[in-house]
Structure 1
Amino acid sequence: MFKKMPGDEPHRIVSTTPDTAVVFKPAVIETPAILTFLFYGLRGLIALVRTLYRHPIACAVPVTLGLTWTRYGWPYAASLLGFIVLALASWAFLHRPSFNRWAGLRLLAWWRLMSTYRRHWQSVMDVSGLAKRVHGRGYLPRLVKVTCDGWADRVTVKMLKGQAVKDWTDRTDNLAHGFGVTSCRISMIKGGRLLLVFPRTDPLASPIPALPIPGIPTVGPVEIGKQEDGSPLKLKVHGTHVLIAGATGAGKGSFLWSTIRGLLPAMMAGLVEVWALDPKLMELSFGRELFQGRYAAGPADCAELLDEAVSVMQKRAARFSGHRRNHVATVEDPFVLVLVDEVAFLTAYQQDKQLRQRISAALATLATQGRSVGVGVMAALQDPRKEVMNIRNLFPDKIALRLDESEQVAMVLGDGARDRGAHADYISPVPELGAGVAYMRLETSPDPIRVRAAYVSDSDIRDMVELFGRAA
């Protein structure tokens, strides 16, 4: 039989006999009051200095008003407040960029910190399960700082010891709705620290008209649209391969035609050749004059064109061997971009088995060996399943437009992309809202980027054909 010793604290049984129990009562170590006072006083002083450094204007204004009120009375303080408000409003009206840089965004960051994040931090952490309780003591992830730019709040967080990034990426929906926004993106700054991005506005809400044709020939990166933060979207096509996946009506044509539009001056200068495979006879046929005979629609013709691209690649590789490692576009050796619209028609739905294997082998050869010698592939498809496109992992850069299922996001962008905020299955099916909107994952970064490609209309394509024809 076990016996318990009297006392307020729980005891740990060390050894027992049938009639007795030997117990160990843990020693209670009390921290001296002076050390506790110094610890919390130093921590408070550090927090005060950090706040003064990060939000100097937000701190200086109330302190100045308080001192003025104390010394001269409230009328002077009210007059000073009016002068400060008028000065800030005039500054914002006369030169908004400098105001946002030095005052506006800092004040907004302070306001968002106090009114949203610090106010709701503990409750959101508790409900989402990111706060922990161990042996009766609560542990809360630390809110380090909040910064703002024109479209989003960026919140730096210090994780609890023992937490992993996946603990946070699994709760992006909880965090977004907890702080009153529509989405949350998470990326790791360094060990133990995360950056949470909460968008406040959406620069991609409206369709983007076709961008002006560049005045200078270039092989890229070519500007094709806009990123979520409002900055230009420049897509690299030379030295890589690009896979585009999206449901019907998602806007794959916006990426294809915006890329052609950005390369048009280089095509006119002879630095770029676009070879088009259009098995549906819909998307690329409208501007077939741009491809100078490098256009194929039937499966057999597509196979012939791909074999020719492989031949060009192999001949260049033989000439470049031992002399150069990277391709530089010239008139003698132009950059060749192979565009394939709805590649599944050729690799999965083609009934002729030998033709299907021939096309798949040619695409795989180009995807594994082509980019170093100036032969790139941009392929678009609707169904991203492995049995439909078994070489999708050979494309370094991937773009996911609207998809039908959440599982398809990982098929296109890779494991963990949706946890990092790539909700391609949430993109609106309404063309005005969602056509051309996508998440892009580049070879150089695991974090997906939300983007929107410009819409190139039929009249824009006609103008491109006419311009190209005049130049020829």
Structure 2
Amino acid sequence: MFKRLPGDETRNLVSTTPDTAVVFRPAVVRTPAAVTIAIFIGRLLVGLARLIWRHPVAVAVFTIPSVVAWQYGWRIALIVTWVPLSVLIPWALFNRESFNAWIGWRLLAFWRLIWVYRRHWHAVMTVSGLARHLQGRDYVPHLMRVRCTSWADLVSVKMLTGQAVTDWADRIEHLAHGFGATSCRVSVARAGRLLLTFPRRDPLAVPLPAIALPTTVSVGPLEIGICEDGRPWRLKIHGTHVLVAGATGAGKGSILWSVIRALIPAIWTGVAQVWGLDPKLMELSFGRAIFEGHYAATPEECADLLEEAVSLMQKRAAKFAGVQREHIPTVEDPFILIVVDEVAFLTAYQNDRTLKQRIMAALATLTTQGRAVGFGVLAALQDPRKDVLTIRNLFPDKIALRLDESEQVDMVLGDGARDRGALADHISSVPEEGAGVGYMRLETSPDPIRVRAAYVSDADIRDMAALFETEGAV
């Protein structure tokens, strides 16, 4: 007997011979033309309403002159057009920032939506493999919205059902070149929605001079540079540990000294201390007076200083036990930041095994127990391999400056960081362009943030040290 098949009945089978394939015609449901037209008109109206809601300025610019010209003639339309232009042009010339905020970026977003993204969307999605063709139908991710800022396009996308963020993160180069951008970054907006960032220019291309000394006492977050979106880069150091990795000349010193510079008022008033470990004898020695005796250069001195910090930390923990759970910086219990330049020299390249074990044990103790009692570690290294610093996962916040290999990005920032747009291996090796530029990944977010630290020159460091060498200088 034959089972009932989809489509026609078994009597319509072409052949029932065992050696012949079973052929049948699938069932076809014919949609009435009126239903098809109604669906098309409904989608058109919804699309127009969405366009007016998301781009009111652009729609008004194009529709109002057209309607006036149709109703009253081109002369009246010219007058209607010229009156607002006589106001908008001076506004754009004399107050560009507010003009862009209200009108400029909206018009640019509408233009780039139509001319760049909507125009190439289907082709880029298909070629990059993000679109799917199933059972004769094309399934393409939905382009939701385009917003423009002073430096980038922010494209909202609705993923196909069943897609994952990694499907997009693995194709950031396809997306960047497909839409004519230098790079692309992928972040999750909400369930099923992504935010693609396509930079139009590089706001971090120009070096940033040293930031002025703060006028208020604070232990963080400290302003040490700028973020790619123009906001000040404020680095949290109190209540966390920070690892900075970068090749030679990448600008690790800019981050170390910018942090120390931002702490100067707190150091002067006694609510913070900076302890320096400088095994290279080249970076921190310029400002030795700032460390107020807590400075070490040789491996033996570094081991002693770290063990002193561990002892003080444990005494403070015993003091806080059952009394308080969070540290509040005071003169009696100051915040202590331990700055280690080229930590790999102490943990991997040290020939004395006993010293290496002492240093590793002290660093591990500080990074696992120091956050709650006001001890922070800021460490810098060149080689991010696991065997060089086995405790790198104990640093919640990480910064990757220029790196030599793409694999090193995930070694520093964690798995998937490069796929999300942290292209630290693409940072320029020219000091004026790339020194101090990097990507930061915080404990609270998987998305990397592109930043640039201010450059603190030797003269700036000497001026800072002079504040502690001269009595009553502040």
Offset from partner CA, 1:293-344 (integer Å, 9 cap, x none):
0000000000000000001110011010111111000000000000000001
Whether contact under 8 Å (1:12, 1:23) holds in the other structure is no
Residues 339 and 27 of structure 1: is their aligned pair in 2 closer, same or farther, counting only changes over 3 Å? same
Aligned to 1:468: 468
The separation in 2 between residues aligned to 1:86 and 1:431, in whole angstroms, is 45
Aligned to 1:53: 53
Residues 86 and 138 of structure 1: is their aligned pair in 2 closer, same or farther, counting only changes over 3 Å? same
Residues 242 and 48 of structure 1: is their aligned pair in 2 closer, same or farther, counting only changes over 3 Å? same
Aligned to 1:69: 69
RMSD: 2.0
Residues 79 and 331 of structure 1: is their aligned pair in 2 closer, same or farther, counting only changes over 3 Å? same
Offset from partner CA, 1:419-439 (integer Å, 9 cap, x none):
000000000000000000000
Aligned to 1:444: 444
Moved more, 77-86 or 157-166: 77-86
The separation in 2 between residues aligned to 1:82 and 1:169, in whole angstroms, is 47
The separation in 1 between residues aligned to 2:190 and 2:41, in whole angstroms, is 29
Q: How does 1:22-421 map to 2 (within 5 A)?
A: 23-421=23-421
Offset from partner CA, 1:24-70 (integer Å, 9 cap, x none):
43211122222222222112111111111111121112221112212
Deviation of residue 470 (structure 1)?
A: 3.1
The separation in 2 between residues aligned to 1:165 and 1:468, in whole angstroms, is 51
Identical residues among aligned pairs (%): 65
Q: What secondary structure sits across from 2:399 in the alignment?
A: strand
Moved more, 108-117 or 35-44: 35-44
Aligned to 2:3: none
Whether contact under 8 Å (1:207, 1:433) holds in the other structure is yes
Residue type of the alignment partner of 2:126: D
Q: TM-score, normalised by structure 1?
A: 0.95
Offset from partner CA, 1:242-263 (integer Å, 9 cap, x none):
0000000000000000000000
The separation in 2 between residues aligned to 1:119 and 1:43, in whole angstroms, is 19
Residue type of the alignment partner of 1:174: H
Q: What secondary structure sits across from 2:349 in the alignment?
A: coil
Deviation of residue 383 (structure 1)?
A: 0.2
Residue type of the alignment partner of 1:463: D
Deviation of residue 163 (structure 1)?
A: 1.4
Offset from partner CA, 1:349-400 (integer Å, 9 cap, x none):
0000011011001000000000100000000000000100000000000000
Whether contact under 8 Å (1:13, 1:21) holds in the other structure is no
The separation in 1 between residues aligned to 2:305 and 2:30, in whole angstroms, is 81
Residue type of the alignment partner of 2:200: R
The separation in 1 between residues aligned to 2:273 and 2:13, in whole angstroms, is 81
Deviation of residue 137 (structure 1)?
A: 1.6
Residues 20 and 452 of structure 1: is their aligned pair in 2 closer, same or farther, counting only changes over 3 Å? closer
**Runs of 5+ unmatched residues, structure 2:** 1-6
Q: What secondary structure sits across from 2:157 in the alignment?
A: strand
Q: TM-score, normalised by structure 2?
A: 0.95
Q: What secondary structure sits across from 2:46 in the alignment?
A: helix
Deviation of residue 81 (structure 1)?
A: 2.5
Moved more, 45-54 or 358-367: 45-54
Residue type of the alignment partner of 1:315: K
The separation in 2 between residues aligned to 1:262 and 1:244, in whole angstroms, is 17
Whether contact under 8 Å (1:268, 1:471) holds in the other structure is no
The separation in 2 between residues aligned to 1:319 and 1:464, in whole angstroms, is 33
The separation in 2 between residues aligned to 1:469 and 1:331, in whole angstroms, is 20
Deviation of residue 90 (structure 1)?
A: 1.7
Deviation of residue 465 (structure 1)?
A: 1.1
Residue type of the alignment partner of 1:457: S
Residues 196 and 18 of structure 1: is their aligned pair in 2 closer, same or farther, counting only changes over 3 Å? closer
Deviation of residue 177 (structure 1)?
A: 1.0
Moved more, 108-117 or 403-412: 108-117
Residue type of the alignment partner of 2:84: I
